Amino acid sequence: MKVLAIGDIVGEIGLHKLKETLSTIIKKENIDFIVVNAENTSGGMGLTLKDFNTLLKMPIDAFTMGNHTWGKKDIFAFIDNPKLLRPANYSKGVPGKGYHIYQCANKKVAVINLIGRTDMNVLSENPFTLIDTLLSKLEKEADIIIVDFHAEATAEKIAMKYYIDGRASILFGTHTHVQTADEEITENGMGYITDLGMTGPKKSVIGMEVKASIKRFVTSLPERYQLAAGDAVLNGCIFEINDENNKVMKISRICY
């Protein structure tokens, strides 16, 4: 089985890039299962019903979110859609779900969404203790387990790699919008990369307009962020899983 994980969609430019490129990637790489992080899709923060409906028309199996899950009020109208996941370690009782099991190529594929706690400015439960509970449950119910760890600190993501190695098939990081060059297959056959990157404006500061971003750093004034324009880039990673033991046997970054 081939799993395609695509980095955070940023704005309409990113959404358009995904729409025009996805079918080419699926055909070229013989993709079976697709996970996309969608938390920055609408205006760079959150997800509207209009944009979610556009995403649903594409052959994508699961959408993960992050610190901007509640960025658009629309989300409360569709947060319970089985294809949409919000961080599992959000406070108990909030709408939505943090994981789901999907059927693909005679396999049960579980996708888990987690959020980090280091420099994220989001009150959340401990992702390490929570993942223990989830993995204990899902290892009995799913053949393949995929984890999107939406976190700022590379150290937190790398620590998670060692913590769940051998208990999940794939762990990838999202949130920083910069694709890392550390893809690997761990000792126990788990596919890992610290960050997938983003799907959004290429000439930008992680998706935002360059001049406004620079002004914030130069003056320390609260300049309003603006989405960048121009050509787009699509970042992601392809994980090829051995159908016999459900371990990753090949991993490759993509950049379109």
Among residues 32, 200, 28, the alpha carbon closest in space to that of 105 is found at 32
**37, two tokens:** 């992080």
Cite the active site residues: 68
Q: Where are the beta strands (DSSP E) in 7-84?
A: 8-9, 33-37, 62-64
Give the single-character DSSP code of 166: T
**What is the block-wise mean pLDDT of the chain (256 residues), using blocks of 10 residues?**
98 98 98 98 97 98 98 97 98 96 97 97 95 97 98 98 98 98 98 98 95 92 88 98 97 98
Beta bridge partners of 155: none
In the chain, what are the domain boundaries? 2-201+231-255
**185, two tokens:** 């297959």
Is-contact 114 132, C-beta < 8 A?
no
pLDDT 10s digits, 217-248: 999 988 888 899 999 999 999 999 999 999 99
Global pTM reads: 0.97
Q: What does the pLDDT read at residue 222?
A: 83
Q: Distance between CA 72 and CA 49 in Å, rounded?
A: 9
Task: Identify the CATH class of 2-201+231-255.
Answer: alpha beta
In degrees rounded to 5, what are phi and psi of residue 107?
-120, 150
Q: Distance between CA 217 and CA 201 in Å, rounded?
A: 20
Q: Where are the beta strands (DSSP E) in 54-132?
A: 62-64, 99-104, 107-115
- Residue appearing with tokens 């159908």: 243
SS3 246: coil
